[in-house]
């Protein structure tokens, strides 16, 4: 029996070996390498060298003003974008699930932003945000003040937030829409018998039933928003400006890793800390959602 079990285990691992190899090479390997780099001063250009510096790279973060600004920008971005895109996605999904006339066309229209390349979408919004762009023309036409969306530090990050909420909500809308199809009609019928109106049915039936889906949407939103890079890079031409207002942690990691000599190890340390922050935020969200489900 023992020999048979060993043979079966060996056959199973042999079949799994391609997947395990890819997992080790492209996921676990890079993670371990990042941890290794974060404890070294690294020189990759020219003569490659690795100098062990212990926790010096982590200590350096305490005195790095740009790292603090990037962390605050990223946290502010996460706190605003994740709830907004989640609520908007749920509202859009509930609206499209209400049996409106022409709802299939509306689904296609709402989902179009998700199909557009992030870089192309950012360039389109840069044109719209231009001082002589579409948004300022509309604001001026209705008598509202215009803004220097790309050059004013007070509104630059908000401009990126608005763009991302608009472009990511449709993706989560589809997830909510699929989940809404699974809610039994009997729940809504029972709520109607109790005298619940449309808003009460949504709040007391739809929202609680979708709690597991909402937990998934929030976790995916947390991971995506903490990793904001391409929009910030394109908006600021890689600088994080104006006045570091669009500088995010991932953009700062890129700058230290590929724009500044001798700081690859420090960039790896920042990436390691970012991974821990995302892991902690995800864990807290899962713990909170499980505690909610007990009541």
Q: What is the maximum alpha-carbon separation in the chain?
A: 83
Q: Closest Cα to residue 273, out of 76, 60, 83, 77?
A: 60
Given a cut of 90, whether residue 104 has pLDDT beyond it is no
Given a cut of 70, whether residue 30 has pLDDT beyond it is yes
203 DSSP assignment: I
The pair of structure tokens assigned to 36 is 């290794």
Phi, psi of 247 (to 5 degrees): -75, 125
261 and 236 in a common domain: yes
The pair of structure tokens assigned to 151 is 């050059």
The helix or strand, by DSSP H or E, that contains position 251, with its residue range, turns out to be helix 249-258
**What integer pLDDT is reported at residue 9 of this predicted model?**
83
The pair of structure tokens assigned to 117 is 């390349």
**What integer pLDDT is reported at residue 156 of this predicted model?**
92
Average pLDDT across the chain, whole number: 87
**What integer pLDDT is reported at residue 1 of this predicted model?**
59
116 and 181 in a common domain: yes
Question: Considering its fold, how many domains does the chain have in total?
Answer: 2
Mean pLDDT value of segment 256-269: 87
Q: What angle do CA 212, 91, 139 make, to 5 degrees?
A: 140
Q: Which residue has the higher pLDDT, 38 or 110?
A: 38
Residue bearing tokens 């009997």 = 186
Given a cut of 50, whether residue 294 has pLDDT beyond it is no
243 and 191 in a common domain: yes
158 and 41 in a common domain: no
117 and 34 in a common domain: no
Q: Closest Cα to residue 57, out of 256, 248, 249, 255?
A: 256
Mean pLDDT value of segment 50-58: 90
- The CATH number that applies at residue 247 is 1.10.3720.10
Burial 27-64 (b: 16+ CB within 10 A, else e): eeeeeeeeeebbbbbbbeeeeeeeeebeeebbebeeee
CA distances from 262 to 24, 58, 238 (A): 28, 15, 19
| Rounded Cα distance, 26 and 30, in Å | 6
Mean pLDDT value of segment 257-280: 90
92 and 183 in a common domain: yes
Q: Under a CB-based contact definition with an 8 Å cutoff, are residues 219 and 208 in contact?
A: no
Given a cut of 60, whether residue 15 has pLDDT beyond it is yes
16 and 86 in a common domain: no
24 and 115 in a common domain: no
**What integer pLDDT is reported at residue 201 of this predicted model?**
86
**pLDDT tens-place string over residues 111-151:** 877 888 888 889 999 999 988 889 999 999 998 888 888 88
**What integer pLDDT is reported at residue 8 of this predicted model?**
82
111 and 66 in a common domain: yes
52 and 88 in a common domain: no
pTM metric for this prediction: 0.87
For the chain, the helix, strand and coil percentages under 3-state DSSP, each to the nearest 5: 75, 5, 25
Confidence of residue 271 (pLDDT cuts 50, 70, 90): very high
133 and 12 in a common domain: no
CA distances from 14 to 2, 26, 27, 286 (A): 18, 19, 20, 35
127 and 90 in a common domain: yes
Residue 87's domain comprises 61-293
Confidence of residue 295 (pLDDT cuts 50, 70, 90): very low
């Amino acid at each position: 029996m023992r020999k048979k079990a060993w043979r079966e285990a060996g056959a199973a691992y042999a079949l799994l070996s391609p997947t395990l190899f890819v997992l080790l090479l492209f996921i676990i390997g890079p993670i371990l390498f990042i941890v290794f780099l974060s404890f070294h001063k690294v020189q990759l250009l020219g003569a490659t060298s690795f100098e062990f510096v212990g926790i010096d790279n982590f200590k350096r973060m305490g005195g790095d003003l740009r790292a603090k600004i990037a962390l605050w920008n990223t946290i502010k971005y996460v706190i605003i974008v994740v709830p907004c895109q989640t609520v908007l996605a749920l509202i859009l999904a509930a609206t499209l699930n209400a049996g409106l006339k022409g709802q299939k066309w509306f689904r296609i229209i709402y989902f179009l932003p998700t199909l557009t390349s992030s870089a192309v979408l950012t360039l389109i919004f840069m044109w719209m945000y231009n001082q002589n762009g579409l948004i300022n023309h509309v604001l001026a036409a209705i008598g509202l003040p215009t803004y220097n969306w790309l050059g004013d530090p007070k509104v630059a990050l908000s401009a990126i937030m608005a763009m991302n909420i608009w472009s990511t909500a449709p993706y989560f809308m589809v997830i909510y829409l699929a989940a809404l199809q699974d809610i039994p009609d009997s729940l809504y019928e029972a709520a109607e018998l109790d005298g619940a109106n449309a808003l009460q049915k949504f709040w007391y039936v739809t929202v609680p039933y979708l709690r597991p889906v909402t937990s998934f949407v929030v976790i995916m939103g947390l991971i995506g928003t903490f990793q904001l890079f391409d929009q910030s890079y394109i908006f600021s031409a890689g600088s994080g400006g104006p006045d570091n207002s669009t500088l995010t942690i991932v953009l700062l990691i890129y700058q230290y890793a590929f724009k500044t000599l001798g700081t690859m190890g420090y960039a790896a340390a920042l990436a390691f800390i970012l991974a821990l922050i995302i892991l902690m935020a995800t864990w807290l969200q899962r713990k909170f959602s499980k505690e909610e489900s007990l009541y």
